[in-house]
Amino acid sequence: MAARTNGTGTRSASAPVDWQAWQESWDRQQEFYLPDREERFRVMLDMTEALTGPEPLVLDLACGTGTISGRLLRRLPGARSTGVDLDPALLTIARGAFADEERVEFVTADLTDPDWTRSLPHRRYDAVLTATALHWLRTRQLDALYGQIAGLLRDGGVFLNADHMPDAATPRINEAAHAFDKARRTRAEAAGTQDWAAWWEELSHEPAVAETVAERFRTIGNPVAGDHADGEVQSPARHAEQLRAAGFAEARTVWSSPLDALVMGLK
């Protein structure tokens, strides 16, 4: 990202922060891992509109920089969104990028806290949307979260989860897909695309967010050092089973790639 610096590689504290640019650079970094990312968002919003109409009240779960909320509001101008996340650095970017947007609000909450829903400004939502986030959870935590999500949705509401969902029943397919994707990322990295660690390293030099990045490193983990979640991935079929067990009337895969999927639950 082009930036004014003070000669040490650190942006001058007096320079204005382009929060939109940081949000866009987050998207490019995520596309390094997920080249079909926009396709899953398109299907997610197609199904949201199909089942909740053009003016849904949406919970953007583990919202990060506001990726889903931004696409939602561009697609459905009458929609409203509540973004919830624990990461203070990503929420700082989201709040900056949406500072003049009345249709979206952001809440800090830990999804593993049994009382996290008390932080939300609304008791019921038309849709709960999330992407590339819940693989951070253990299976028992995910079961509990799905039950909470079911309780937040109105009757007829929808939940859509796009995430890494490999199927353990197809190990050779998985191995080939992993190898192909690794080779693609190697080529992209050689061409200058930032990976996860490099993006966080650059963000740590942004004075406007340096304190929250340091807080994130202390409380959640340091991506630059290679820290990541100790989660457990599930197959799409297993996610659908979990959703039905949590109280959803219907649940199924509505999009998939060799290693990722978008699973939908209808309340």
Amino acid at 248: F
pLDDT on residue 228:
62
Confidence of residue 1 (pLDDT cuts 50, 70, 90): very low
What is the greatest pairwise CA distance in the chain? 59
pLDDT of 7 higher than 80: no
pLDDT of 13 higher than 60: no
pLDDT of 2 higher than 50: no
pLDDT on residue 246:
97
Confidence of residue 227 (pLDDT cuts 50, 70, 90): low
Confidence of residue 248 (pLDDT cuts 50, 70, 90): very high
For residue 148, give every residue at least 6 positions away whose Cβ sits within 8 Å of its Cβ, in sequence order, or none: 116, 117
Average pLDDT along the chain: 93
**What superfamily would CATH give domain 19-266?**
Vaccinia Virus protein VP39 (3.40.50.150)
Token pair for residue 38? 């926009």
pLDDT on residue 264:
98
Confidence of residue 6 (pLDDT cuts 50, 70, 90): very low
pLDDT on residue 236:
97
CB atoms within 10 A of CB 19: 20
Q: Identify whether the C-beta of residue 123 lies closer than 8 Å to the C-beta of residue 56.
A: no
Least confident of 56-60, 125-129, 219-223, 252-256: 219-223
pLDDT of 259 higher than 90: yes
Q: Tell me how far apart the alpha carbons of residues 48 and 51 are, in angstroms, rounded to a whole number.
A: 6
For residue 68, give every residue at least 6 positions away whose Cβ sits within 8 Å of its Cβ, in sequence order, or none: 41, 44, 58, 60, 81, 129, 130, 131
Confidence of residue 224 (pLDDT cuts 50, 70, 90): confident
For the chain, percent of residues with pLDDT exceeding 90:
90
CA 208 to chain CA mean position, Å: 22
pLDDT on residue 231:
79
Domain boundaries, the chain: 19-266
Confidence of residue 8 (pLDDT cuts 50, 70, 90): very low
Q: HSE, CB side, 13 Å, CA atoms: give it for residue 215.
A: 11
For the chain, percent of residues with pLDDT exceeding 70:
93
pLDDT of 155 higher than 50: yes
For 151, the enclosing helix (H) or strand (E) is helix 139-152
CA dihedral (146, 152, 158, 162) positive or negative: negative
